[in-house]
Chains A and B, each alone.
Chain A
Amino acid sequence: MNVGGSTIFGTADHESDVNKENETKLLLDSYVEKEKRAEAPRMGSMFRSEEMALCQLFIQPEAAYSAVASMGEAGVVQFRDLNSDVNAFQRKFVSEVRRCDELERKLRYIEAEVNKDKVPIPENTISPNAPNPREIIDLENQLERTESEILELSHNAVNLKSNYLELLELKHVLEKTHSFFEESFCLQQQDSTTPTSSGNDSITKALISEDSQQVIRGRLGFVAGVVSRERVPGFERMLWRISRGNVFLRRAELAEPLEDPATGNEIYKTVFVAFFQGEQLKSRVKKVCSGYHASFYNCPSSYVDRQDLLKGVKTRIEDLNLVLNQTHDHRQRVLTTVAKELHGWSVMVRKMKAIYHSLNLFNMDVTKKCLIGECWVPLSDVPFIRQTLADGGKAVGSSIPSFLNVIETNENPPTFNRTNKFTQGFQNLIDSYGVASYREVNPALYTIITFPFLFGIMFGDAGHGLILTLFGGFMVLREQQFTQKKINNEVWNIFFSGRYIILLMGIFSIYTGIIYNDVFSKSINIFGSSWSVILKNNTIKDISEATLDPAVNYNQLPYPMGLDPVWQRSSIETSPTCAPSVLITFINMMLYKKNTENVLPCQPYMFQYQDQLQTIFLIISLCCIPIMLAGKPIYIMISKRRMQKRRYSVNNGDLNQEIEMKENESVSIPSENMTLQYHPEEQQQDDEHEEMSEILIHQVIETIEYVLSTVSHTASYLRLWALSLAHAQLSEVLWNMVLKAGLMSESYSGSILLYFTFGTWSVFTIAILVMMEGLSAFLHTLRLHWVEFMSKFYIGTGYPFQPFSFKLILESEEALEE
């Protein structure tokens, strides 16, 4: 709800006049004198966002990299893009960014290889600094060497493995075909004695009996090989088709799977022997084999040859096994050494890339041979940046020092609230509604206590508050471990980032629970109740219920701390305090209705002059309305008229204006001091000429809103009562229906019943009363803050300060990866 922007009232967000410039310079000089050494940024006041300065950096190209690196470590500078019209590929440091990309690619490959072998990558907690140019070259060479080494190792491993596979398959073939040939040999023997025929054998026999008996195998060609099990049916069919049934296939499945060298998958294979006659069929069979990726081997026909070959193959397999193991060990060693450095390297490369991206935002001033950059810096950090630039220049050893120049501007600076781990949660709650305008009052400061307090009013049970406190305390005490662990669960992360809020909410809930005298819906009697009963005879047995009379049964001294425990037993359900009655009382109050009931000896008023006081307050509040309505527009009108008078009496000419302004200043009335603040801006920009009518309309709307909100917001706070009542009733119902049933048993078996009853009661307590009610109270408290508190003054149109910070960049990249 800005009326012509907040510029008109000269709040601290436009310090662009000459006086402020002088002040800033004095301030900076005093800073520089006091703190020569670079100091880490301090916690500023949380009441308003920090003062920001737009600075121009003039950096030597040699020193630029290290200067930006140290600024990234500090995380207090937000660079502006001075090259927004330049294509991303035409910027100055594009080649360096490409180098970083290349390094990242190598790192990704190495990481993939390390993960493939399941080598553990240790997490480093310390982030290494960005490497300087010399270290970059070292890093590049190192990565190059590592990458080529791993590539070579992989390649060799694949070769070795395929060799190994061939040998293994050959061994299997030799072993299995032995049985094939044995059979046919036996059959042949058999056949020579008795011409019996049965099943498969007849096929073999048929082939054999066509030719002469001894030299059968010589005429019968065969191909022995190995094919993967899933291809066998197709393979068989194809062989049958191309040979028109003249090929005979014998196969035996291999029990263990064999490892594929390229992918590492284990495949089940089958040994086969295909018998055929003639050379043509042989070539066809071989073609089919290659089509089905079946490997075939030269299997000698004679038994003795096969045995020799088998022995040779076995020894070769053993040798190859040795070599494979050694290669594997070597690879593991290389990968383990690399894995240790991997995290550090990737952090360094990411930092490098971020630095070069930032350097790309700078402008190269060709004549002066230096890089010019613009950035937003918090005013209190400007000396730190100056120191950083000086250090960077000295380290590189350049003759011309880099320097920083604070420039005046009318642009809206970003909003920067320096927070620590405690205040950050509360600041997030406020920023979710809207980021505060520059130098606006920051509600987060008060939210630290008002939020848990209002939550406590609505939650109000010491037992449940204790559960919350324990949960919050657990997270806070273990926060180091949890921040390092990086858990992926979204719900846990939400709870963990709000751990201080939860802890405070729990503590306040315990306090309000004590005041409400509610511990898991039971009251505790510490100080002795102020209510007592005086019974003179036994007539009490005839009356089922009796209401105690405060004049008689009350000892006139209130229970010292909280609600008297006697109220827990009270069965008063309908009372003057229930809902419709409260609202009606409230509305009557607004309408200024007098209580016409006059029940003696009760007075209609609480103290003597209450009537007159009420009238006075009402008149004061009514008088405020025209002030709200007309005050701001009238002020604007008067100040505008004064400004116009001033402008007509001054020439047009930028430089002269300031001098003449100063002259006028000495003569002017002190109240016009404020108007001078926006004079330079008036000449620099076009006049923000707002029609008076618009301002009036704005003001009318605001006044109506504000007056209405006095009633509506006050009524809205009734939710505090409503939610606390709901919570108390829920916990009482849970007690009465669940736990009380477990405690009523009179025998020992009741202990088992109590065991289960307590379990149920605890589950419901945590699920419904703590979690659900807690979330509900949290939400209502948030609404009370956002609407009933902040709508009265909060503008919230700022944009957040997004500094160039390595920590933030690394965190966001890690979040993206997961």
Chain B
Amino acid sequence: MGASLLPVLLVTGFWGVVGVVLPCYLPKGPNRGILQLILMLTAATCWLFWLCCYMAQMNPLIGPKLHNTTILLMAKAWGNAIST
């Protein structure tokens, strides 16, 4: 089970800026409250959604079941060609 630091930091940082930092700097107008809420809710829901997907892949219990053609293609295209 592992997690790489960079994606987590980047994504959390992005949604943190959107949801925490940006609402403080909105122009003062009649719609300020609504815009703040929109930004915060968007950041919270989107970040949570990403987190669920990320954490679900951190410790997979089972891998994908692939055709041998797919496996051969994967080996060729993504590295680790077959060594005979």
The CA of A564 and the CA of B54, in the complex, are separated in Å by 10
Report if A550-B84 is in contact (Cβ < 8 Å); known contacts: A45-B33, A453-B45, A569-B70: no
> Nearest CB to that of B31 among chain A residues?
A43
The CA of A535 and the CA of B62, in the complex, are separated in Å by 19
Assess the A547–B53 pair: CB atoms within 8 A. no
The CA of A548 and the CA of B70, in the complex, are separated in Å by 12
Interface size class of A (residues with CB under 8 A): 35 or more
Assess the B2–A556 pair: CB atoms within 8 A. yes
Interface size class of B (residues with CB under 8 A): 35 or more
The CA of A532 and the CA of B82, in the complex, are separated in Å by 12
B42: which A residues are within 8 A, CB to CB? 449, 453
Assess the B64–A531 pair: CB atoms within 8 A. yes
B50: which A residues are within 8 A, CB to CB? 515, 561-562
B72: which A residues are within 8 A, CB to CB? 535, 540
A536: which B residues are within 8 A, CB to CB? 83
Residue A563 interfacial (CB < 8 Å): yes
Report if A535-B80 is in contact (Cβ < 8 Å); known contacts: A557-B3, A558-B3: yes
Assess the B64–A548 pair: CB atoms within 8 A. yes
Residue B66 interfacial (CB < 8 Å): yes
The CA of A548 and the CA of B63, in the complex, are separated in Å by 5
Report if A42-B30 is in contact (Cβ < 8 Å); known contacts: A512-B49, A541-B68, A545-B66: yes
The CA of A529 and the CA of B66, in the complex, are separated in Å by 14
The CA of A563 and the CA of B59, in the complex, are separated in Å by 13
Assess the A575–B62 pair: CB atoms within 8 A. yes
The CA of A511 and the CA of B49, in the complex, are separated in Å by 10
Assess the B57–A563 pair: CB atoms within 8 A. yes
Q: Tell me the B44-68 residues at the A interface (CB within 8 Å).
A: 45-46, 49-50, 53-55, 57-68
Interface of A, helix, strand, loop or mixed by DSSP: loop
Q: Which of B7, B57, B80 contacts A564 (CB 8 A)?
A: B57
The number of A-B residue pairs with CB atoms under 8 Å apart is 145
Q: Which of A420, A543, A557, A567 contacts B68 (CB 8 A)?
A: A543
B31: which A residues are within 8 A, CB to CB? 43, 420
Q: Tell me the A517-572 residues at the B interface (CB within 8 Å).
A: 528-538, 540-541, 543-550, 553-554, 556-564, 566-567, 569-572
Residue A288 interfacial (CB < 8 Å): no
B27: which A residues are within 8 A, CB to CB? none
Residue A457 interfacial (CB < 8 Å): yes
A564: which B residues are within 8 A, CB to CB? 57
Report if A558-B57 is in contact (Cβ < 8 Å); known contacts: A42-B30, A448-B34, A457-B49: yes
Residue A450 interfacial (CB < 8 Å): yes
B74: which A residues are within 8 A, CB to CB? 531-533, 566
A561: which B residues are within 8 A, CB to CB? 7, 11, 50
Assess the A557–B82 pair: CB atoms within 8 A. no
Looking at the assembled complex, report how far the CB atom of B49 sits from the nearest CB atom of chain A, in whole angstroms: 6
Q: Which of B41, B59, B71 contacts A533 (CB 8 A)?
A: B71
Residue B75 interfacial (CB < 8 Å): yes
B75: which A residues are within 8 A, CB to CB? 533, 535
The CA of A511 and the CA of B18, in the complex, are separated in Å by 15
A550: which B residues are within 8 A, CB to CB? 59-63
B34: which A residues are within 8 A, CB to CB? 46, 423, 445, 448
Query: Which 7 A-B pairs give the minimum distances between C-beta atoms?
Result: A548-B63, A570-B64, A560-B7, A43-B30, A558-B57, A449-B41, A556-B2
Given A530-B57, A569-B70, A572-B64, 18 more A-B residue pairs with CB atoms under 8 Å apart are A45-B33, A446-B37, A531-B64, A532-B80, A535-B80, A535-B82, A536-B83, A543-B68, A545-B67, A547-B63, A550-B59, A550-B63, A553-B63, A560-B4, A567-B64, A569-B67, A571-B65, A572-B65
User: Chain A residues in contact with chain B, CB under 8 A?
Assistant: 42-43, 45-47, 420, 423, 445-446, 448-450, 453, 457, 511-512, 515-516, 528-538, 540-541, 543-550, 553-554, 556-564, 566-567, 569-572, 575
Show 18 A/B contacts (Cβ-Cβ < 8 Å), sorted by A. Answer: A46-B34, A449-B42, A453-B42, A457-B49, A515-B53, A531-B64, A531-B74, A532-B74, A540-B68, A540-B71, A546-B66, A546-B71, A548-B65, A556-B1, A567-B64, A569-B64, A571-B67, A572-B64
